[in-house]
Amino acid sequence: MTVQITPAELEIMKIIWDRPGLGASEIAGALVDQQDWTIKTIKTLLTRLVEKGALATTSEGRRYLYTPKIARKAYQKTAAGQLVDRLFNGRAAPLVAQLADARGLTDEDIAELEALLGTLKS
Amino acid sequence: MTVQITPAELEIMKIIWDRPGLGASEIAGALVDQQDWTIKTIKTLLTRLVEKGALATTSEGRRYLYTPKIARKAYQKTAAGQLVDRLFNGRAAPLVAQLADARGLTDEDIAELEALLGTLKS
DNA sequence: CCCTGTTGACCACATTTGTAGTCGATCTTA
DNA sequence: TAAGATCGACTACAAATGTGGTCAACAGGG
């Protein structure tokens, strides 16, 4: 059972992945443009993420600073793996095909994918 | 707001995408190896999927036959798009990179991806 | 023709998720 | 030094989700 991070919690994780070591009110500040949450809501989400083992805390005076306990890349891997397993029979190519069809790939994407395939070919 | 299909519901959808027009007990039969659900549970999930507009029903005698109202590909596209937006800044290449890193790509995947990239290059 | 099994309709209930409120302790500022 | 701001702990509560139960109608086997 991988740690399950909900959509709302993920928004918090993204902030902390970008800037580890923030306190609750700074996270609220970073989210203000983006989410319409009160500080209370953010604190609840932070608590839940700590309970789940997704964040670690350090005390600084009477407040907590939050750092990721689950790395962004690790989470990206599980999430991508889950999607591909659940919906694409574990195969990456059809997933990319649907993405390309749904929204197109940027030139940059195409270039990066080519480079990636190059490194993978034995 | 795209129709939200939960993980449990998705298992049902997959059966019906494969074999549209089944009734509840046949779906239960198809799931028996895979899920440990009673017929009651399956019927509840079917009802919810109909309420959500993901399935359509036809009456056959005193039972219902279920067919997809949301196509598999359409759902794959939304789900893939959501993942890529929420976790990869909308970029496909990093998603594939994480997948490759997490579980490797099969030779077939690599070949298909190359073919796909070929068709996309203007 | 009666019993049994199956069907959909409706109900139940714990857990998770989204969104916040209360409270006592503490920090800060006038 | 007293009042307000802020902190974490704890509580609240509706909606969604997972899982299954009840019940009345009906269909089919003996």
Is B109 near chain A, with CB under 8 Å? yes
Residue contact B117–A112, C-beta within 8 A: no
Distance from the Cα of B101 to chain A's closest Cα (Å) equals 8
When pLDDT is averaged across residues B18-30 and rounded to a whole number, the result is 97
The residue assigned the tokens 């949301």 is B70
Q: What is the pLDDT of residue A122?
A: 65
> H helices of chain B, where?
7-18, 24-31, 39-51, 72-88, 92-103, 107-120
Cβ neighbours of residue B59 closer than 8 Å, sequence gap 6 or more: B65
Q: How far apart are CA B46 and CA B49, in angstroms?
A: 5
Residue B30 clears pLDDT 90, i.e. is over it? yes
Percent of chain A whose pLDDT exceeds 70: 98
Is A32 near chain B, with CB under 8 Å? no
Amino acid identity, residue B84? V
Nucleotide nearest to B57 (CA to C1'): C8
Percent of chain A whose pLDDT exceeds 90: 95
Q: How far apart are CA B82 and CA B63, in angstroms?
A: 35
Token pair listed for A10 = 């993920």
**A102 and A94 in contact (C-beta within 8 Å)?**
no
Identify the band that residue A82 occupies on the pLDDT scale cut at 50, 70 and 90.
very high
- Chain C nucleotides close to protein (CB under 7 A) are 6-12, 16-22, 26-27
Q: Please give the CATH architecture assigned to the domain spanning B7-68.
A: Orthogonal Bundle (1.10)
Q: How far apart are CA A56 and CA B93, in angstroms?
A: 30
Q: What is the pLDDT of residue A49?
A: 98
**B52 and B70 in contact (C-beta within 8 Å)?**
no
Distance from the Cα of B13 to chain A's closest Cα (Å) equals 10
**B92 and A105 in contact (C-beta within 8 Å)?**
yes
User: Mind listing the pLDDT tens digit for each residue in A2-44?
Assistant: 899 999 999 999 999 999 999 999 999 999 999 999 999 999 9
Task: For chain A, give every domain's residue range.
Answer: 7-68, 73-120
Mean pLDDT, chain B, as a whole number? 96
Q: What CA dihedral angle connects A51, A78, B28 and B73, to 10 degrees?
A: 130
When pLDDT is averaged across residues B84-100 and rounded to a whole number, the result is 96
Identify the band that residue B122 occupies on the pLDDT scale cut at 50, 70 and 90.
low
Residue B28 clears pLDDT 90, i.e. is over it? yes
Q: What is the pLDDT of residue B25?
A: 96
Q: Give the count of beta carbons closer than 10 Å to the beta carbon of residue A42.
A: 21
Q: Is the CB of B13 under 7 A from strand D?
A: no
Is A106 near chain B, with CB under 8 Å? yes
Nucleotide nearest to B8 (CA to C1'): D18
User: Mind listing the pLDDT tens digit for each residue in B4-21?
Assistant: 999 999 999 999 999 999
Residue contact B83–A80, C-beta within 8 A: yes
**Closest-CA residue in chain A for B79?**
A83
Q: How far apart are CA B122 and CA B120, in angstroms?
A: 6
Residue B120 clears pLDDT 90, i.e. is over it? no
Percent of chain B whose pLDDT exceeds 70: 98
When pLDDT is averaged across residues B84-95 and rounded to a whole number, the result is 96
Q: Is the CB of A43 under 7 A from strand D?
A: yes
- Exposed e or buried b per residue across B43-77, where buried means at least 16 C-beta atoms within 10 angstroms of its C-beta: bebbebbeeeebbebeeeeeebbbebbbeeeebbb
Q: Which residue has the higher pLDDT, A120 or B47?
A: B47
Cβ neighbours of residue B45 closer than 8 Å, sequence gap 6 or more: B8, B9, B12
Q: How far apart are CA B30 and CA B15, in angstroms?
A: 7
Residue A121 clears pLDDT 80, i.e. is over it? no
Which of 51-80 (A) contact B at CB < 8 A? 73, 75-80
Which residues in window 69-88 of A are less than 7 A from strand D by Cβ?
none
Minimal Cβ distance to A73: which of B90, B92, B98? B98
